C-alpha cells in the first residue's frame, strides 16, 4: 500500500502544481499580449486548458528525472 500512496501523492502533486502554474502563466501572458477585452476570459480558459493538458504528463514524466538530478547534485544525507 505504501507505493500506492506514493504514486497517489505524485499524481495529486502534478495535478495541483499543473493547475496553479498553468493558470498563473496563461493569465499573465494573455493579459499582457491581448489585454482585458471582452474575449479575455474565453481566451484565458482555452489557453489554460491546453497548457494544463500538456503540463500534467510532462510533470509526471520529467519530474522524476529532475528529482534524480537534484538528488545527484545535492545528495540526501543519512541521519
Domain hosting 28: range is 2-73
**29-40 average pLDDT score:** 94
- Alpha-carbon separation of residue 3 from 9, 10, 56 (angstroms): 10, 11, 20
Tell me, yes or no, whether 79 lies in a domain.
Answer: no
Confidence of residue 54 (pLDDT cuts 50, 70, 90): very high
What's residue 72's pLDDT? 92
Distance CA 74, CA 50 (A): 34
Q: Is residue 28 part of a domain?
A: yes
Only one residue has cell 484565458, namely: 44
Mean pLDDT of 54-60: 89
Q: For residue 52, what are the contacts with CB-CB under 8 A and spacing of at least 6? A: 18, 19, 22
Q: Looking at the domain assignment, is residue 65 inside a domain?
A: yes
How far is Cα 62 from Cα 3, in angstroms, rounded to an integer? Answer: 19
pTM: 0.73
Within a domain: residue 36? yes
Amino acid at each position: 500500500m505504501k507505493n500506492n500512496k506514493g504514486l497517489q501523492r505524485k499524481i495529486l502533486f502534478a495535478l495541483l502544481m499543473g493547475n496553479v502554474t498553468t493558470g498563473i502563466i496563461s493569465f499573465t501572458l494573455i493579459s499582457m499580449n491581448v489585454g482585458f477585452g471582452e474575449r479575455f476570459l474565453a481566451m484565458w480558459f482555452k489557453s489554460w486548458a491546453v497548457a494544463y493538458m500538456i503540463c500534467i504528463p510532462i510533470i509526471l514524466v520529467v519530474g522524476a528525472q529532475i528529482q534524480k538530478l537534484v538528488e545527484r547534485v545535492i545528495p540526501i544525507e543519512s541521519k
